[in-house]
Amino acid sequence: MPVPLSTIPPPSTSPEVVAFEGIGVLREESVLLLEASGRVAAGEVLAVTGPNGSGKTTLLRVLAGLLAPTAGRVRVAGRRPDDRDRVFREALAALIGPAQTARDLTVLEHLQFVGATWGSDAAAARARGRELLEELRILPLADRFPHELSSGQSQLVSLALVLARPSAVLVLDEPEQRLDPDRLDLVIDALRARARAGTAIVLASHSPRLVDQLADGRLALEEPW
């Protein structure tokens, strides 16, 4: 059920959920990311923009606890990002790269599995999965296997798998990939609803439309060379 807007504090007064300062990543003498800083409060959307090679995905991997920074400080929900830390993983859900799927589970079974993993009983997880598929207008795909989907359908299913679990923070790498304008509108609406409900969102995007409609703040990265 959507949270009434009257119960959501304005982003400017919400507690800070994501904070990173001077984040840099160096690998084998190559600079992957140079001195990125930003802050995101509950209910805010930070858009990370820049050309390919500027470090957008690298920054998101740091925030998601998949990559340790060489320099700088980062906190997400008050913790140092570490994907081995269950408390941290309970706070953050990320879409970075293709979703990991099983060939012999249907789309709905994947969503049911994710929901059950994070505490829902089987019936509630299945119902929530159907709600997400309906929200993204892909309920007819519920009984298909992942290998039977088009690239655009796969992108929407990947997003649904991220949204199927509870989180205070969403980290999304180019959620607009392979989507036509109508499907992009569905994603924009879904993410706007999460932000209005208090989720802090950090996303990397090449889509001016998505950024213009969602972002409260922007972080423009440049190539580190």
Residue 149 lies inside a defined structural domain of this protein:
yes
Residue 121 lies inside a defined structural domain of this protein:
yes
Residue 136 lies inside a defined structural domain of this protein:
yes
Model pLDDT for residues 197-215, shown as the tens digit of each residue: 999 999 999 999 999 999 9
Q: 28, exposed or middle or buried, with CB in 10 Å at 0-12, 13-18, 19+? A: exposed
pTM: 0.90
Domain count, the chain: 1
Average pLDDT of the chain is: 92
Written as six digits, the tokens of 206 are 């090449």
The whole-number pLDDT of residue 15 equals 72
The whole-number pLDDT of residue 225 equals 66
Residue 29 lies inside a defined structural domain of this protein:
yes
Model pLDDT for residues 156-197, shown as the tens digit of each residue: 999 999 999 999 999 999 999 999 999 999 999 999 999 999
Q: Is the pLDDT of residue 102 over 50?
A: yes
Q: Is the pLDDT of residue 135 over 50?
A: yes
Query: Phi then psi for 89, rounded to 5 degrees?
Result: -65, -25
Residue 8 lies inside a defined structural domain of this protein:
no
Q: Do the strands 217-220 and 169-173 form a parallel or antiparallel pair, or are they unpaired?
A: unpaired
Residue 43 lies inside a defined structural domain of this protein:
yes
Q: How far apart are the first and last CA of the chain?
A: 47
Q: Is the pLDDT of residue 223 over 80?
A: yes
Query: What's the domain range around 207?
Result: 16-220
The whole-number pLDDT of residue 10 equals 38
- Partners of 30 in the β-ladder: 27
The CATH code of the domain that includes 151 is 3.40.50.300
Please give the angle made by the CA atoms of 72, 73 and 74, to the nearest 5 degrees. 130
Q: Is the pLDDT of residue 14 over 80?
A: no
Model pLDDT for residues 52-89, shown as the tens digit of each residue: 999 999 999 999 999 999 999 999 999 999 999 999 99
Residue 201 lies inside a defined structural domain of this protein:
yes
Residue 208 lies inside a defined structural domain of this protein:
yes
